[in-house]
Amino acid sequence: MKLLFDRGDLRVEKIDNIKNEINYYLNKEENVKEEWIEENHPIDIAEALSELDASEINDFTKLLETEDLADIFEESEKDLQIDILKCKSSEEIIEIFSHMAADDITDILGLLPIQKRKELLRHMKQDDALVVKNLLGYDRESAGGIMTTEYLLLSKNLTTTEALNKIKKIAPDTEIIDTIFVADSNKKLVGSVDLRDILSSDDEKKLEELMDDNIIKVSADVDQEIVAQQVAKYDLTVIPVINKSGILIGIITVDDIIDVIEAENTEDLYKMHGVDEEESSDTTLLQSIKSRMPWMFINLATAFLATFTVAMFEDVIAQVAALAAAMPIVAGMGGNAGTQTLSIVIRGIALGEIDFKDNWTLLFKEAMVGVINGAATGLVTGLILYLMYGNYYLGLIIFLAMILNLLVAGMFGFLIPLFLQSLGIDPALASAIFLTTVTDVFGFFVFLGLARGFIVYLI
Amino acid sequence: MKLLFDRGDLRVEKIDNIKNEINYYLNKEENVKEEWIEENHPIDIAEALSELDASEINDFTKLLETEDLADIFEESEKDLQIDILKCKSSEEIIEIFSHMAADDITDILGLLPIQKRKELLRHMKQDDALVVKNLLGYDRESAGGIMTTEYLLLSKNLTTTEALNKIKKIAPDTEIIDTIFVADSNKKLVGSVDLRDILSSDDEKKLEELMDDNIIKVSADVDQEIVAQQVAKYDLTVIPVINKSGILIGIITVDDIIDVIEAENTEDLYKMHGVDEEESSDTTLLQSIKSRMPWMFINLATAFLATFTVAMFEDVIAQVAALAAAMPIVAGMGGNAGTQTLSIVIRGIALGEIDFKDNWTLLFKEAMVGVINGAATGLVTGLILYLMYGNYYLGLIIFLAMILNLLVAGMFGFLIPLFLQSLGIDPALASAIFLTTVTDVFGFFVFLGLARGFIVYLI
């Protein structure tokens, strides 16, 4: 990540412009001009709106055509969506929904209280309500939860001319058109055709002859992260979702996959350090405290383990206070070396690169990295402490303690995420906190334990 | 990130199957059947090949048609690509290149020694060589470095019928067809048309009337991360790249953007903890030690700052050894609280969510979270230490030290990445190491400093 400093400012300027223009419309109470809507991307308008207060948002949405409002609404963040819905009647909301895709409607209904959700579903056209109800049944983070039902599915018996005519008709209502899915007479998904092949091939060829029957697909209950791995691995722009009978029930487009990847990456980084996945720079002070405090207390409990370890050696420290000065080095270096290993393993799991059968060689490698880096840094540390305190044995025990603690750090940095994963728990979950506990406790124990063994040489 | 444990195994099984089949072909020295190639995705074949040794790879590639080899080659990891190139003559390599896109050829040439690169460029068709040479001129991590030149660009004066005829002809050679770019008579990019609009509109309509003239574009020297942010924000499947005169010189497709996002996310997580971006679970022991050791020494230097801080208070610790047991809590809690803030800020910058004008309110918020979480955990810690040691003042000073250190942790967790960014340095770069140094040094200083002030009440 390397950004130019003024990029943020440029963006801010653009949004500020739009905000000024929104204020202009608000003051004149004049309907928003169609050309203004065309000139400004709905995402940018949504971003500007989100900085206004609720009553201004309410007033401004009244100045918009429903179709334009639907575009902006679709691109808005959750908070803004809720603000907009609050000031609309059920009829107006249904009118907005009529311009939106079923998966986006489903996401929004998921945010509303059950009462309101039921009311809106009652008001919707029966067909649409059925699709949405069906989508609401899937786990939000599964393939079914992120798929959309606006796809192109044609029978394998169609000729390219017939297919092209159908495509011309259906295309405006679909999410993508460059990939067309093909079904057999039982509606089972049997292949996909590239639109360019239809365009450039013989008029009378059947789709069956053109289609690729070896397509990558997922079933509706697959976790969204695995869907993202498949899309990334096979460079797809769309992945079909099938039910247990092999019938196409939806598609997931790559722009939704990017959102999944961004969300999962944020989640990994956050969970690794005990931050709730819902937090962002927008979260209020109270929410932040609420979400972080529990982790602080878990961390406190683990920190006390380190304290109890040190407390066992208070007699040794009372005799040689220099030990208190040196002990943070052993623990801190272990924590950092372990976090290096942890980062690599957590990323490897997220990208699907770590094979379980390679486990033992990788564990051995991480342990060896620990021993060798421990020996190198331990040697330097030992020499410096020898020069600081003029005690040869102090240098020797920190040298040994560093090797042992970095060995343990490498092993646990590797084992903690894999162990969590084998239990079905997210491998990133607070891994760093558990790891630093291990390296603190073990680091203090081995260093102070060695000191007790060598105590006669230290005083 | 939540994965099923057996997912990895399933994938391994598939790759193992392909490996067995490769061995079958190798033993029979029989050319690879076309249907086998169709049944197996080139990416999976590449993955299986990468587990074989160099001579097997060499033997197997001889059994493949060049076109099939090109498909597999294109999907291979760098290491495998180099292994394959090693055993091919320049003529054979040029033959493989002839089935590949210019941007992929450019990436591969970038891996080769300059001598070999020049030789291959000499052997290539002059037109192709020119395109590749041009692409080689861009920074690898800029829009120019990741763009491809296989796009559809039509004149705005064409009618939809004329356009469709051109598209049918050019389509097989382009990366995507659902977005067609439109140029004016000066070859300047003026808009884009959705293929579905061409398909479903009146035959005699001109592209000029159909096109959207408000398109998101980037110039060639823009950093790839900013390109990725734009694509993610505006849900694009392709983004055009223009030169200084506004002429279209390439496009970037969303599958390449996913690779950028994955790479930048890995880089952020790694850099934050002092791991080199080139490392992965495949890296050899020696490479891992080489890349991580420098960071271990930087970390050691910062760890000594903590040691020097504690050493200033050795007289106090010699009198009250309990301080040595309690001091890791203050430092550790500060480190973890600060890393929570750090994670949020680094993610916020990466996702383009943090505005610089909001800085001061956010800094204030993080500082307040620190004070309140510090007070809450400090109170509990103080009580426990009071119960452990029966000393009221020990509890009081740790309570105060926790509040102050978590205040500092929140502020530095926020300021370190923004400060690095304002210097044009990657904000993730070893932020966690710098941060824990600050919280260690300050935590020890304030806790032991307070202890010195209250020393008469502690002994």
Per-residue 3-state assignment (H helix, E strand, C coil) for chain B: CCCCCCHHHHHHHHHHHHHHHHHHHHHHCCCCCHHHHHHCCHHHHHHHHCCCCHHHHHHHHHCCCHHHHHHHHHHCCHHHHHHHHHCCCHHHHHHHHCCCCHHHHHHHHHHCCHHHHHHHHHHCCHHHHHHHHHHHCCCCCEHHHHCECCCCEEECCCEHHHHHHHHHHHHHHCCCCCEEEEECCCCEEEEEEEHHHHHHCCCCCEHHHHCECCCCCEECCCEHHHHHHHHHHCCCCEEEEECCCCEEEEEEEHHHHHHHHHHHHHHHHHHHCCCCCCCCCCCCHHHHHHHHHHHHHHHHHHHHHHHHHHHCCHHHHHHCCHHHHHHHHHHHHHHHHHHHHHHHHHHHHHCCCCCHHHHHHHHHHHHHHHHHHHHHHHHHHHHHHHHHHCCHHHHHHHHHHHHHHHHHHHHHHHHHHHHHHHCCCCCCCCHHHHHHHHHHHHHHHHHHHHHHHCHHHHC
- Min Cα separation A250/chain B (Å): 19
Q: What is the pLDDT of residue A1?
A: 44
Distance in angstroms (rounded) separating the CA atoms of residues B264 and B78? 18
Judged by CB atoms closer than 8 Å, whether chains meet at A348 and B280 is answered as: yes
Which amino acid is residue A299, in one-letter code? N
Distance in angstroms (rounded) separating the CA atoms of residues B366 and B420? 18
Q: Average pLDDT for residues B104-132, to the nearest whole number?
A: 89
pLDDT digits (tens, 9 = 90+) for A10-23: 566 788 888 888 88
Interchain CB contact of A78 with B (< 8 Å): no
Distance in angstroms (rounded) separating the CA atoms of residues B211 and B183? 10
Q: What is the DSSP letter of A246?
A: S
Mean pLDDT score of chain B = 88
- Min Cα separation B31/chain A (Å): 22
Q: Are B384 and A304 in contact (CB under 8 A)?
A: yes
Judged by CB atoms closer than 8 Å, whether chains meet at A231 and B307 is answered as: no
Which residue, A432, A408, A419, A440, is CA-closest to A342? A432
In this predicted structure, the answer to whether residue B202 has a pLDDT above a threshold of 80 is: no
What pairing do the DSSP bridges indicate for beta strands B189-194 and B179-183? antiparallel
- Min Cα separation A29/chain B (Å): 26
Judged by CB atoms closer than 8 Å, whether chains meet at B4 and A424 is answered as: yes
Judged by CB atoms closer than 8 Å, whether chains meet at A356 and B9 is answered as: yes
Instruction: Please report residues of B whose CB lies closer than 8 A to that of A177.
Output: 178, 195-196, 199
Interchain CB contact of A102 with B (< 8 Å): no
For chain A, domains (ranges, CATH) are 7-146 (1.25.60.10), 153-253 (3.10.580.10), 285-458 (1.10.357.20)
Distance in angstroms (rounded) separating the CA atoms of residues A381 and A398? 7
Interchain CB contact of B185 with A (< 8 Å): no
- Min Cα separation A123/chain B (Å): 30
Judged by CB atoms closer than 8 Å, whether chains meet at A424 and B2 is answered as: yes
Q: Average pLDDT for residues A406-435, to the nearest whole number?
A: 90
- CB burial of A305-343 (b: ≥16 within 10 Å; e: otherwise) equals ebbebbbebbebbbebbbbbbbbbbbbbbbbbbbbbbbb
For an interface test with A, the pick among B300, B394, B425, B455 (most A C-beta atoms closer than 10 Å) comes out as: B300
CB pairs under 8 A between A and B: 397
Q: How far from B84 is each of B25, B111, B113, CA to CA, in Å?
A: 18, 13, 15
Judged by CB atoms closer than 8 Å, whether chains meet at A324 and B310 is answered as: yes
What pairing do the DSSP bridges indicate for beta strands A218-219 and A238-242? parallel
Distance in angstroms (rounded) separating the CA atoms of residues B193 and A392? 77
Q: What is the pLDDT of residue B33?
A: 85
Which tokens go with B125? 């068709």
Residue with tokens 């989100």: A50
Distance in angstroms (rounded) separating the CA atoms of residues B203 and B160? 5
The torsion angles phi and psi of A36, rounded to 5 degrees, stand at -65, -45
Interchain CB contact of A217 with B (< 8 Å): no
- Min Cα separation A333/chain B (Å): 7
Q: What is the pLDDT of residue B273?
A: 87
Distance in angstroms (rounded) separating the CA atoms of residues B443 and A120? 55
- Min Cα separation B413/chain A (Å): 13
Complex ipTM value? 0.84
10 Å CB burial of residue B76 (0-12, 13-18, 19+) is buried
Residues recorded for chain B: 459
- Min Cα separation A76/chain B (Å): 11
In this predicted structure, the answer to whether residue B7 has a pLDDT above a threshold of 50 is: no
Report the C-alpha dihedral over residues B346, B347, B349, B350, rounded to 10 degrees: 120
Judged by CB atoms closer than 8 Å, whether chains meet at A388 and B311 is answered as: yes
A411: left (phi over 0), alpha (psi -120 to 50) or beta: alpha
- Closest-CA residue of B relative to A376 is B293
Interchain CB contact of A355 with B (< 8 Å): yes
Distance in angstroms (rounded) separating the CA atoms of residues B374 and A93? 45
Judged by CB atoms closer than 8 Å, whether chains meet at B314 and A325 is answered as: yes
Which tokens go with A163? 């297919």
pLDDT digits (tens, 9 = 90+) for A256-294: 999 999 998 988 889 888 888 888 777 888 888 988 999
In this predicted structure, the answer to whether residue B79 has a pLDDT above a threshold of 60 is: yes
Q: How far from B344 is each of A292, A299, B420, B439, CA to CA, in Å?
A: 12, 18, 15, 18
10 Å CB burial of residue B315 (0-12, 13-18, 19+) is exposed
Which tokens go with B49? 């090949």
Q: Average pLDDT for residues B132-142, to the nearest whole number?
A: 90
Distance in angstroms (rounded) separating the CA atoms of residues B89 and B202? 53
In this predicted structure, the answer to whether residue A7 has a pLDDT above a threshold of 70 is: no
pLDDT digits (tens, 9 = 90+) for B28-51: 888 888 888 888 888 989 988 888
The torsion angles phi and psi of A223, rounded to 5 degrees, stand at -65, 140
Distance in angstroms (rounded) separating the CA atoms of residues A405 and A176? 54
Report the C-alpha dihedral over residues B224, B227, B232, B233, rounded to 10 degrees: 140
- Confidence band (pLDDT; 50, 70, 90) for A395? very high
Bridge partners of residue B330, in order along the sequence: none
Which strands form B189-194's sheet, in the order they lie side by side?
A: B153-155, B179-183, B189-194
Q: Are B168 and B250 in contact (CB under 8 A)?
A: no
Signed CA dihedral, A153, A158, A164, A170: sign only = negative
Q: What is the pLDDT of residue B200?
A: 82
Lowest-confidence segment of A351-365, B49-63, B424-438 by average pLDDT: A351-365
Q: Are B346 and B270 in contact (CB under 8 A)?
A: no
pLDDT digits (tens, 9 = 90+) for B318-338: 999 999 999 999 999 999 999
Interchain CB contact of B328 with A (< 8 Å): yes
Q: Are B454 and B398 in contact (CB under 8 A)?
A: no
Bridge partners of residue B188, in order along the sequence: B247
Judged by CB atoms closer than 8 Å, whether chains meet at A349 and B3 is answered as: yes
- Confidence band (pLDDT; 50, 70, 90) for B162? very high
- Min Cα separation B322/chain A (Å): 7
Which of B164, B296, B372 shows the shortest C-beta gap to A373?
Answer: B296
The torsion angles phi and psi of B242, rounded to 5 degrees, stand at -120, 160
Bridge partners of residue B191, in order along the sequence: B182
Q: What is the pLDDT of residue B9?
A: 47
Distance in angstroms (rounded) separating the CA atoms of residues A37 and A15? 14
Signed CA dihedral, B367, A46, A11, B260: sign only = positive
Which of B41, B267, B440 shows the shortest C-beta gap to A1?
Answer: B267
- Confidence band (pLDDT; 50, 70, 90) for B27? confident
Return the CA Rg of chain B: 30
In 3-state terms, what secondary structure has residue A92? helix
Judged by CB atoms closer than 8 Å, whether chains meet at A372 and B268 is answered as: no
10 Å CB burial of residue B451 (0-12, 13-18, 19+) is buried
- Min Cα separation B111/chain A (Å): 21
- Closest-CA residue of B relative to A429 is B1
Judged by CB atoms closer than 8 Å, whether chains meet at B285 and A365 is answered as: yes
Distance in angstroms (rounded) separating the CA atoms of residues B379 and B89? 73
Percent of chain B surpassing pLDDT 90: 44
10 Å CB burial of residue B438 (0-12, 13-18, 19+) is buried
Interchain CB contact of A455 with B (< 8 Å): no
| Distance between start and end Cα atoms, chain A | 50
- Closest-CA residue of A relative to B357 is A9
Judged by CB atoms closer than 8 Å, whether chains meet at A261 and B261 is answered as: yes
Residues recorded for chain A: 459
In this predicted structure, the answer to whether residue B403 has a pLDDT above a threshold of 80 is: yes
Interchain CB contact of A300 with B (< 8 Å): yes
In 3-state terms, what secondary structure has residue A262? helix
Q: Average pLDDT for residues A313-318, to the nearest whole number?
A: 92
CA A243 to chain centre: 25
Q: What is the pLDDT of residue B382?
A: 95
- Confidence band (pLDDT; 50, 70, 90) for A3? very low
Interchain CB contact of B232 with A (< 8 Å): yes
Judged by CB atoms closer than 8 Å, whether chains meet at B369 and A288 is answered as: yes
What interhelical angle do B126-136 and B102-111 show, nearest 10? 60
- B3 or B395: which carries more pLDDT confidence? B395
- Closest-CA residue of B relative to A169 is B200
- Closest-CA residue of A relative to B200 is A168
In this predicted structure, the answer to whether residue B172 has a pLDDT above a threshold of 80 is: no
Instruction: Please report residues of A whose CB lies closer than 8 A to that of B445.
Output: none
CB contacts under 8 A, A 373-412 vs B, are: 373, 376-377, 380-381, 384, 388
Distance in angstroms (rounded) separating the CA atoms of residues A273 and B268? 14
CB contacts under 8 A, B 258-287 vs A, are: 258-259, 261-262, 264-275, 279-282, 285
Highest mean pLDDT among A66-80, A237-251, B272-286: A237-251
In this predicted structure, the answer to whether residue B131 has a pLDDT above a threshold of 70 is: yes
Q: Average pLDDT for residues B187-212, to the nearest whole number?
A: 89
Instruction: Please report residues of A whose CB lies closer than 8 A to that of B269.
Output: 268-269, 272, 343, 346-347
Which amino acid is residue A79, in one-letter code? D
